[in-house]
A and B are shown apart, each in its own frame.
Chain A
Amino acid sequence: QKEVEQNSGPLSVPEGAIASLNCTYSDRVSQSFFWYRQYSGKSPELIMSIYSNGDKEDGRFTAQLNKASQYVSLLIRDSQPSDSATYLCAPFQAGGFKTIFGAGTRLFVKA
């Protein structure tokens, strides 16, 4: 089992719709989770972090965390073509003091 599982996509949504990106992780000790956005040919950029169960909202982005289910998600409301990118889920392993990255989900927002 991979440490971090993400659907590789591509996930295609129309402009203005909600995009839902999901991630499961295997390390029960992970306490914090990060979402990165990576445009094609570019380096990843941190967009969200979440540490507690529940929802965390930042502009059009909402991160959701359920530690009991080992599940974290990212919702993008009012999706724009500029949101088309690969989104990487990254749990932080406190024991090893390092972040593990999922392979990412490619999102395509159709204008």
Chain B
Amino acid sequence: DGGITQSPKYLFRKEGQNVTLSCEQNLNHDAMYWYRQDPGQGLRLIYYSQIVNDFQKGDIAEGYSVSREKKESFPLTVTSAQKNPTAFYLCASSPTGGAFGYGYTFGSGTRLTVV
């Protein structure tokens, strides 16, 4: 079955450490997105990519980095510069090309905790 796989499900980060969250999709979608969700809050866009080897900053990109070397993969690195990384991280994908946009398919998420 097609879908988006995020790993790991839970991740613990020590102070000053970089960590990478994995996101893989087999839906043949061009666009991929990373969102952060804090308790009781909405989704905030970190980075998005509409095509391989290209990506744009979202609303809260500081302290994060991404790469898009393959259509299927869009990993997110949370760097030590991100001072408050504890959150629920969601990866999503969608087709592109339509004037009205498309709904997103989300992965199951990664819960990151600073210890």
Contact = CB atoms under 8 A, between A and B. Distances in A.
Interface in B13-67: 31, 33, 35, 40-43, 45, 48, 50, 58
Given A44-B43, A98-B33, A98-B45, 11 more contacts: A31-B100, A42-B109, A43-B90, A44-B104, A45-B106, A88-B43, A94-B100, A98-B48, A98-B58, A103-B40, A103-B42
Interface of B: 31, 33, 35, 40-43, 45, 48, 50, 58, 90, 96, 99-101, 103-109
25 contacts: A4-B42, A8-B40, A31-B99, A32-B101, A34-B103, A42-B108, A43-B106, A43-B107, A43-B109, A44-B90, A44-B106, A46-B105, A49-B103, A88-B43, A92-B100, A94-B99, A94-B100, A97-B31, A97-B101, A98-B33, A98-B45, A98-B58, A99-B101, A99-B104, A103-B42
